[in-house]
Amino acid sequence: MKNIERHCSAIALLAVASLLCVPVARAQANDTSSLPQVRQLSLDDALASAEARSPDLAIARAGVTRAEGQRDKARSQFLPQIFGTAGYTRTLRSQFQGLSFGSDTAGPPTCSSFMVDPNASVNQRLSLLESALGCGAGSSPFGSLQNLGFGAANQWNLGLSLQQNVFTGGRVTAQYRAANAGRRSATIGLTAAKAQLTLDVTQAYYDAQLADRLVAIAEATLSQADTTLAQTRLGRQVGNAAEFDLLRAQVTRDNQVPVLIQRRSDRDVAYVRLKQLLHLPLTDSLALTTSLDDSTAARSGTVSTLLAQAPDTAAESRAPVRQAAENVTAQKSAVTVAHAERIPSLSLSSAFGRVAYPSGIFPSWSDFRSNWTVGGSLTLPIFTGGNIHGDEQIATAGLQQARAQLQQTRELAELDARNALNKLQAAQAQMNASRGTAQQAARAYQIATVRYKEGISTQTELNDAQIQLQQAEANRATAARDLQVARMRLALLRDLPLTGGAAQPSQTQTQTQVSTQAAPLAVPLGTQSTSASTGQTGSAGNLPPGVPSQQPGTP
């Protein structure tokens, strides 16, 4: 009986446990569904996301729209300017209210027109003549002006005005030419902004990949140190290892812990930087699918298209040089505008109007009278107190500065192109060298591990082999990152801003404007990178931005 009771109790306990486990299992399933989803992100996806959400590109597009508006505004001066007007005026009190226009009820009676009756007698004719003379003396002298609007209570005015420039001495043509230069410069600036964003995202993407690789290397190194420590502790217990070897293994293992913590912190910073460029929530979890070791042939999409194109390293093709050339064109137009102020300008104008002064508020069409004028004006500056001369000096100085900036930008572009080629060659050489070094270091560590297990080598030799392996793997990962960034930079070189070491003018977002007073022009040169990390590729053995310079495997 006791056994049966025990079995029944066990069955009951199992049933209760199963019932209790069902809600727990459901809760665990709900917790799993609430976990953040890992987003698979390739380099092409990152570039597309950044381009769709970048505020820098939005600003550049707004600059293009602004430049197009300025061009349309300059072009409008070639065409006639036509304006329509419509107005209504209600006169409450007027200075003409004290005058009689023959319509006041308090004035003399209204006289009819004098008509001679040939059948009337002489006396009747004299009476009619005297009555006509009396009416003429008592009537208002302003009776004929009653329809001209003097003191009218209601006034309506409908009009059209036209103005056309006939001759401006080349001022309008120069303004249009300068506005076109500004539009082309803004378009180049938009292309440069896209190229800069592509390079920034590529560098941030590979920095995150490098940070992942360094974390993996640090974790593997810590695991190797744990294994070595366990083996040394076991050897110490059986008497095959000295206390010094045990202490050294313990110190080596403990030194790897802060290295791993630092690598993970650097990885978090690299991912935050990438998410900021892509404008993604910082809480999103990303899984980067484009590896550091991917070759050009293995890629597809935007990256493959960029890297398949032959790089254009000619200085005249660079975006900053083209913008500087457009600036020279705009400044030449400013000089033309300044000189045009000394030349007479001729314009034609015409105005057509319909006016009405009804007794009521709303007039009929028959109440309107027409008024049409045509005229011309000739403007010739005779004495301006040196104003035109000052505008000419300002425009000439702007042209000289623009030409000097063009020469300086061209020289910096040549230096920047050479620097990009050298970085690519150095990155390729470092990548080739790091592959062999990593293989040799891995083989050396395997041999050192076997020698240490067999007791024919020391703990120092094993630690040295481990540090060399970690350094070689880190150098290889860094070289792979540098090579990928250098390739992308060379592919985008034509449209990228300058990143040379020489002093460069700061990038401004000014627009080309040529006023009738020949104001100085400013076209954005785009010769300075908008990102501090642009073009700053690391070298083999040196960690990139966001990764500490501490060598792996060292305290």
**pLDDT confidence of residue 21:** 44
At 111 the pLDDT is: 54
* Residue 154 parent element (H or E): strand 154-167
Say how many C-beta atoms besides its own lie within 10 A of residue 314's C-beta.
13
Triad 417, 423, 428: Cα angle to 5°: 130
Q: Are 158 and 130 in contact (CB under 8 A)?
A: no
Blockwise average pLDDT, block size 10, the chain, 555 residues: 43 41 43 62 91 94 96 95 93 71 46 64 73 56 56 88 94 95 96 95 94 92 88 84 85 92 95 94 90 61 75 91 96 95 94 90 87 93 93 96 96 94 92 86 87 78 83 90 93 87 38 38 37 38 38 36
Q: Which residue has the tokens 């920034």?
A: 200
Here the tokens at position 328 are 């020279």
Question: How far from the centroid of its chain's Cα atoms is residue 551's Cα?
Answer: 39
Instruction: List the alpha helices (DSSP H) in 239-318.
Output: 243-278, 302-308
Sign of CA dihedral 5, 6, 8, 9: positive
Residues 344 and 378: beta-carbon distance below 8 Å? yes
Neighbouring CB atoms inside 10 A of 463's CB total: 20
The torsion of the CA quartet 522, 524, 525, 528, rounded to 10 degrees, works out to: 130
Torsion angle defined by CA atoms of residues 518, 522, 523 and 528, in that order, rounded to the nearest 10 degrees: 170
Domains along the sequence of the chain with CATH: 38-81+169-340+388-495 (1.20.1600.10)
String of b and e for 229-240 (b: at least 16 CB within 10 Å)? bebbeebbeeee
Whole-angstrom distance, CA of residue 183 vs CA of residue 163: 27
Contacts of 133 (CB under 8 A, 6+ apart): none
| Cα 130-131-136 angle, rounded to 5 deg | 100
Burial class (CB in 10 A: 0-12, 13-18, 19+), 271: buried
Using CA atoms, how far residue 38 sits from 278, 285, 399, in Å, is: 16, 5, 56
